[in-house]
């Protein structure tokens, strides 16, 4: 097989097509994670009643952990606070909201959406082997961009005649969002 920009571009594209699809789909979901996040999908809400201390000031992490265990929650507490007469607790897979006077509240259980949650994890994973693979992916995308510039060497549709204008626009467009919206 001859080594050319076209062949290199095609073969790298074939190799990474699955990852490109996964990154594209999960990237869209991560862009809208405030509305619907596949890693934290609301599965069920349960009414709960918890015996609360008379003084809300005495609520501490140990007490919150004990409340969680009584509700069958074994995962770690991410954060908790008392705000406007409500105890708000965020566990890894649950959120608990309890009125500090009455002890009544809601327990929300979250589950991950199969496949989509794992795909979004690709953007966030810090495993050193995944980081190396992602670095190679980044280099491959750079190679794809460069080889794509030389696939049509001459003519009205070449990079020299037309492609550079589109590439420049493609660089400027995200910079406008970066500087104007941040």
Q: Are 103 and 51 in contact (CB under 8 A)?
A: yes
pLDDT of residue 131: 82
Residue spans per domain, the chain: 5-36+114-151, 41-111
**Would you say the pTM of this structure is higher than 0.75?**
no
pLDDT of residue 40: 67
pLDDT of residue 93: 87
pLDDT of residue 158: 82
Which residue, among 158, 143, 102, 133, has the nearest Cα to 3 in the 3D structure? 143
pLDDT < 50 stretches in the chain: none
The tens digit of pLDDT for each residue in 119-171 reads 777 777 778 888 888 888 888 888 888 888 877 778 887 888 888 888 888 88
The residue ranges of DSSP E strands in 73-133, in sequence order, are 77-83, 86-91, 94-99, 104-111
Q: Are 117 and 39 in contact (CB under 8 A)?
A: yes
């Amino acid at each position: 097989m001859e080594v050319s920009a076209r062949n290199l571009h095609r073969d790298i594209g074939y190799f990474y097509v699955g990852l490109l699809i996964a990154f594209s789909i999960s990237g869209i979901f991560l862009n809208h994670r405030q509305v619907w996040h596949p890693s934290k999908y609301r599965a069920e809400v349960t009414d709960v009643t918890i015996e609360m201390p008379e003084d809300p000031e005495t609520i501490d992490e140990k007490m919150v952990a004990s409340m969680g265990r009584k509700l069958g929650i074994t995962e770690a507490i991410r954060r908790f606070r008392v705000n406007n007469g409500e105890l708000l607790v965020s566990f890894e897979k649950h959120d608990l909201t309890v009125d500090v006077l009455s002890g009544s509240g809601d327990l929300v259980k979250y589950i991950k959406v199969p496949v989509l949650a794992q795909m979004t994890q690709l953007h966030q994973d810090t495993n050193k082997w995944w980081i190396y693979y992602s670095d190679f992916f980044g280099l491959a995308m750079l190679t794809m961009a460069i080889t794509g510039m030389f696939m049509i060497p001459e003519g009205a549709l070449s990079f020299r005649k037309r492609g550079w204008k589109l590439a420049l626009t493609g660089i400027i467009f995200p910079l406008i969002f970066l500087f104007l919206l941040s």
